[in-house]
């Protein structure tokens, strides 16, 4: 019979974000608190023939602010975003990479789709323009979803665990959860983790339109993402990256790190129900939240805030609301609830990491950003969604939810750091 192993404590010491409402963590947080929408007309291609003509694009991003021109040309935008956000996060962490054991620093950065834009361009090269001998030798390395993680590892010489997760919209939450486990069990001391996505392209918009998943509110892009509103009609596509540097607590203390919060628990489940729709009543989400709470050694009564998946889809928002009611019972309506997607849209595989950053900052600052665009309350969505501006809210522990096509559910529990 073995002896139980004491779990090592894991803390967040660095964060980097590229989002439709800000290209730094500070700008992102400021605009979330201000309730700013990142939606607008698509400018990357002519969207006039598409059912949806708008998205939440990055503004003013230049890859060469972070990497040289040659590398930028050999990376799909999702990898460019990951490299940029990783530079921010590592700088924020105050880790001196020349003074630590890089064999014990790993990278897990996921992407739900990978280089879809690169695939589209090379498809045109093959079938429309020049034939098979003109396909770029960098096509496959640019497209595959693990390359963001690989490029970050190579850039900084990080030789610990290195791979990518791909689980649709739950991708980067799974990446953070895996990184958390690796540190807890002693396989690494530091992990660079999160997600990146760049799917605002012809195939991305066209494909999600074919599924009828996207909002078509073309006359008012800024109000199209309406989580928990009665008239919601689908999600708004977003793009960007969110990266966390997480460390074993003593390692963080050893270099005088600023600690934002603690990663306290994770819960991963499967709906085993449908390729796109959540299980009735959010049954899988119920289990993922309960597992995360138990993993943290807490009870539902210890949670003050839930950052929801909140996509603005008719079925998803209703089922997540039901799941929160099931988990928290009578307390459900006294918990602060919001949806970051109301402002930044849905970043697909990067959503979990970017929304985790919003959750972590809420825990640290005791503030909750608003859910914008909830004009007409839905009787099936009757929680405390924080809609009238940002709110001061005392938070000791919070949950970030992400749920992906394929029935993937991930809940991460963050709590305020105490010695």
Q: Is 169 a catalytic residue?
A: yes
Cα–Cα distance for residue pair 405/412, rounded to 1 Å: 18
Give the pair of three-digit tokens for residue 58: 């990055």
The answer to whether 189 and 10 are in contact (CB under 8 A) is no
Q: Which of 174, 346, 369, 408 is catalytic?
A: 346
Give the pair of three-digit tokens for residue 61: 């991003």
Cα–Cα distance for residue pair 306/289, rounded to 1 Å: 10
Q: Which of 309, 369, 381, 408 is catalytic?
A: 309
Q: Is 255 a catalytic residue?
A: no
Cα–Cα distance for residue pair 309/169, rounded to 1 Å: 9
∠ CA 203-229-339 to the nearest 5 degrees? 70
Cα–Cα distance for residue pair 90/23, rounded to 1 Å: 15
Question: Three-state SS for 369?
Answer: coil
Sign of CA dihedral 359, 360, 361, 366: positive
Q: In the beta sheet, which residues pair with residue 242?
A: 17, 195
Q: Which of 169, 174, 251, 408 is catalytic?
A: 169
Q: Is 418 a catalytic residue?
A: no
Active-site residue set: 169, 309, 346
């Amino acid at each position: 019979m073995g002896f139980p192993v004491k779990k090592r404590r894991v803390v967040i010491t660095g964060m980097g974000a590229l989002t439709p409402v800000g290209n730094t963590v500070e700008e992102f947080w400021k605009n979330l608190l201000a309730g700013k929408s990142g939606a607008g007309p698509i400018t990357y291609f002519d969207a006039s023939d598409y059912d949806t003509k708008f998205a939440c694009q990055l503004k003013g991003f230049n890859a060469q602010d972070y990497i040289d021109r040659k590398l930028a040309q050999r990376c799909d935008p999702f990898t460019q975003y990951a490299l940029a956000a990783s530079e921010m996060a590592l700088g924020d962490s105050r880790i001196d990479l020349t003074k630590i054991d890089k064999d014990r620093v790993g990278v897990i950065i996921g992407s739900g789709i990978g280089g879809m834009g690169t695939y589209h361009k090379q498809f045109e090269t093959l079938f429309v323009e020049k034939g098979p001998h003109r396909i770029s030798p960098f096509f496959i390395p640019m497209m595959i979803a693990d390359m963001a993680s690989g490029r970050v590892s190579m850039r900084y010489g990080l030789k610990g665990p290195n791979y990518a997760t791909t689980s649709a919209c739950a991708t980067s939450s799974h990446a953070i959860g895996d990184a958390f486990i690796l540190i807890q069990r002693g396989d690494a001391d530091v992990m660079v983790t999160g997600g990146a996505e760049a799917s605002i392209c012809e195939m991305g918009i066209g494909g999600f339109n074919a599924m009828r998943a996207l909002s078509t509110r073309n006359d008012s892009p800024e109000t199209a993402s309406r989580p928990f509103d009665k008239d919601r009609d689908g999600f708004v596509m977003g793009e960007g990256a969110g990266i966390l540097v997480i460390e074993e607590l003593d390692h963080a203390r050893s270099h005088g790190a600023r600690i934002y919060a603690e990663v306290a628990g994770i819960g991963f489940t499967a709906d085993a129900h449908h390729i796109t729709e959540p299980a009735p009543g959010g049954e899988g989400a119920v289990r993922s939240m309960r597992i995360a709470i138990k993993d943290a050694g807490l009870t539902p009564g210890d949670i003050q805030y839930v950052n929801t998946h909140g996509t603005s889809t008719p079925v998803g928002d209703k089922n997540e609301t039901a799941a929160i009611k099931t988990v928290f019972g009578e307390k459900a309506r006294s918990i602060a609830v919001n949806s970051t997607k109301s402002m930044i849209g849905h970043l697909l595989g990067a959503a979990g990491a970017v929304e985790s950053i919003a959750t972590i900052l809420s825990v640290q600052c005791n503030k909750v950003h608003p859910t914008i665009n909830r004009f007409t309350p839905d009787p099936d969505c009757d929680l405390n969604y924080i809609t009238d501006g940002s709110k001061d809210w005392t938070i000791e522990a919070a949950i970030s939810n992400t749920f992906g096509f394929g029935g993937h559910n991930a809940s991460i529990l963050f709590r305020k750091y105490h010695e």
